[in-house]
């Protein structure tokens, strides 16, 4: 049921390859959040069209465009001609943008109650962040490094991606032997000695166990709602 879903529009980023402009496909900060799918799609279409107009973004200007058109069973000459003569409808432009993987934004569907695990850094009074803003982005693209153990979208970028904490076991915990024993017993934990980092697969019981052993002044894994992630990222991208 739609009542159990939330729809977020994320910004993929924008960069130049020395030949043409294209989506960056990085961490994807959330720019909009909806509870109604049709409202989300309507806003997504508007954002894509506005970006193309304001940035002069040409969805045909990239290497391999003809091949991509053929793979999508589209007539390149016809669509190219109609695009530049501005005879395509907004829906046709949007569908073409998606088929060519030229969309700057992406619409993602999540369960409404999805749990988003983030790393809080008390000594820095900040969450662990990823800033993938390029010199060509018209606005910043700062995202929380969040993870979920939800399995409803196995293709999603957050699933199966570990939380990574850097440092020796002594630096991570006041009880390093207990942490070492936990790592040995829990298949969701891996410590890579050569890189001095602890990989934590997002699983609720595992995260609760690790959290109890971390030095709270340096690391704390918190659980946020998708709405809270959105509000934090919105604030970050308005600030910078």
**Reported pTM:** 0.79
Residue in 65, 15, 6, 5 with CA at minimum distance from that of residue 34:
6
Quick one: pLDDT at residue 77? 84
pLDDT tens, residue by residue, 23-39: 987 668 999 999 999 99
Quick one: pLDDT at residue 216? 77
Confidence of residue 149 (pLDDT cuts 50, 70, 90): low
Q: Report the chain's mean pLDDT, rounded to a whole number.
A: 87
* Residue 124 pLDDT > 50: yes
To the nearest whole percent, how much of the chain has pLDDT over 90? 55
Who wins on pLDDT, 109 or 158? 109
* Residue 160 pLDDT > 70: no
Among all chains, which residue has been given the structure tokens 């391999």?
64
Quick one: pLDDT at residue 3? 72
Q: What 3-state DSSP class applies to 223? A: strand
Residue in 222, 235, 202 with CA at minimum distance from that of residue 127:
222
Quick one: pLDDT at residue 18? 85
> Which range (1-10, 156-165, 179-188) has the least confidence?
156-165
pLDDT tens, residue by residue, 37-69: 999 999 999 999 999 999 999 888 877 777 777
Confidence of residue 239 (pLDDT cuts 50, 70, 90): low
Quick one: pLDDT at residue 233? 95
Burial of 163 (0-12, 13-18, 19+ CB in 10 A): buried
Distance CA 13, CA 222 (A): 27
Which is it for strands 220-224 and 116-121: parallel, antiparallel or unpaired? antiparallel
Quick one: pLDDT at residue 157? 41
Quick one: pLDDT at residue 153? 46
Quick one: pLDDT at residue 122? 87
Of the ranges 1-15, 107-121, 166-180, the best mean pLDDT one: 166-180
Q: What is the dihedral of CA 32, 33, 38, 41, to 10 degrees?
A: 30
């Amino acid at each position: 049921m739609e009542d159990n879903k939330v729809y977020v529009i994320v910004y993929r980023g924008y960069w130049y390859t020395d030949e043409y402009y294209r989506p960056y496909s990085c961490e994807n900060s959330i720019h909009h959040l909806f509870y109604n799918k049709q409202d989300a799609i309507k806003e997504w279409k508007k954002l894509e069209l506005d970006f193309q107009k304001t940035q002069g973004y040409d969805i045909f200007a990239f290497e391999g465009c003809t091949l991509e058109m053929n793979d999508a069973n589209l007539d390149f000459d016809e669509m190219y001609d109609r695009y530049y003569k501005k005879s395509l409808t907004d829906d046709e432009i949007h569908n073409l943008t998606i088929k060519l993987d030229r969309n700057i934004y992406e619409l993602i569907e999540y369960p409404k109650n999805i749990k988003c695990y983030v790393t809080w850094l008390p000594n820095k009074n900040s969450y662990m962040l990823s800033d993938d803003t390029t010199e060509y982005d018209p606005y910043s693209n700062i995202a929380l490094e969040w993870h979920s153990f939800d399995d409803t979208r196995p293709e999603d970028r957050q699933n199966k991606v570990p939380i990574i904490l850097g440092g020796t076991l002594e630096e991570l915990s006041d009880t390093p032997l207990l942490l070492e024993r936990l790592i040995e017993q829990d298949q969701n934990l891996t410590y890579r000695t050569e890189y001095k980092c602890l990989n934590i697969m997002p699983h609720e019981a595992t995260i609760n166990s690790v959290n109890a052993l971390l030095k709270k002044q340096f690391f704390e894994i918190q659980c946020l709602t998708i709405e809270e992630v959105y509000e934090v990222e919105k604030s970050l991208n308005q600030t910078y």
